[in-house]
Amino acid sequence: MLAHYARSVLAGVFAVFALLCAVLQTPAQPTPDYAALLAAADRSAADRQADKRRDPLPFLAFAGVHPGMKVLDMGAGGGYSTELLARAVAPGGVVYSQNPPDLPDRPKTAFEARLKTPAMKDVTVEMRPFDDPVSPDVHDLDLVTFLFFYHDTTYMRVDRAVMNRKLFAALKPGGYLVVADHSALPGQGTSVGKTLHRIEESTLRQEVEAAGFRFVAEGNFWRSPSDTHDFPSYRPTVPVDNFVLKFQKPM
């Protein structure tokens, strides 16, 4: 009986070892040519103009978006970032684009028009609340992006603790959450979310980590030391200081 048990244990060990070897030998996905993606001839003039303000290339590289990925874009608005992600995950990938059901008419109209373009063929629309952002059949995501909208959830009827736990659950083990937002001053926390449309970086990080995420990296490519942090982020007098944080769901 002991010999049978030992053989079973060894069989299990070898099975795990074989699986690890297979994972380690899986070829890495090639890094997309993000510059070529941004230069695509079928991108709109409005998006090209937005590129000058948003500078998306370093973000795409930092997030590590590549073909075949399953991505959720939170707070997609008019769909600028959703389209970039859709282009980056093609072929073989999918982007779930979340917006709340009460999305204002202007971004809603822009998003609906964008959906008709070929670049959005791999996009699935999720018109759902922030604290219940995806359909039950959406799971094992590789990446969640949350760009410049987290601060808005601080003054909306959103349970952010529930929202962050839902994002954690939707990701596969080892998947990433990348959040970018407008920086507030130390000590301001969420108090200027509605007035200045900013959030304190440490506050956001604490909330996300409370859901089980592990902080893994910070991107400083959208920082601006000239920002005085005392004006609304949507009315910049100087370039706005934006932080970018990458979190991972533990394996």
Provide the 3-class DSSP secondary structure of residue 245. strand
Instruction: Indicate whether 163 belongs to any domain.
Output: yes
Among 23-37, 52-66, 86-100, 199-213, which is the least confidently predicted range? 23-37
Number of domains in the chain: 1
Instruction: Indicate whether 79 belongs to any domain.
Output: yes
Instruction: Indicate whether 6 belongs to any domain.
Output: no
The mean of the pLDDT values for the chain is 91
Instruction: Indicate whether 5 belongs to any domain.
Output: no
Instruction: Indicate whether 187 belongs to any domain.
Output: yes
* The two three-digit tokens of residue 27, written as one number: 């070829």
CATH number of the domain where residue 82 is located: 3.40.50.150
0.75 surpassed by pTM: yes
Confidence of residue 29 (pLDDT cuts 50, 70, 90): low
Range of the domain at 233: 34-248
Interval 65-124: pLDDT, tens: 999 999 999 999 999 999 999 999 999 999 999 999 999 999 999 999 999 999 999 999
Position 30 scores a pLDDT of: 73
Position 12 scores a pLDDT of: 46
Interval 115-172: pLDDT, tens: 999 999 999 999 999 999 999 999 999 999 999 999 999 999 999 999 999 999 999 9
Instruction: Indicate whether 183 belongs to any domain.
Output: yes
Position 28 scores a pLDDT of: 57
Q: Which residues, 6 or more positions from 178, have their beta carbon under 8 angstroms from its beta carbon?
A: 59, 62, 63, 143, 144, 145, 146, 244, 245, 246, 247
Flag whether pLDDT at 197 surpasses 70: yes
Flag whether pLDDT at 5 surpasses 50: no
Instruction: Indicate whether 197 belongs to any domain.
Output: yes
**What is the Cα–Cα distance from 113 to 107, expressed in whole angstroms?**
10
**What is the Cα–Cα distance from 197 to 149, expressed in whole angstroms?**
9
Confidence of residue 20 (pLDDT cuts 50, 70, 90): very low
Flag whether pLDDT at 47 surpasses 90: yes
Flag whether pLDDT at 21 surpasses 90: no
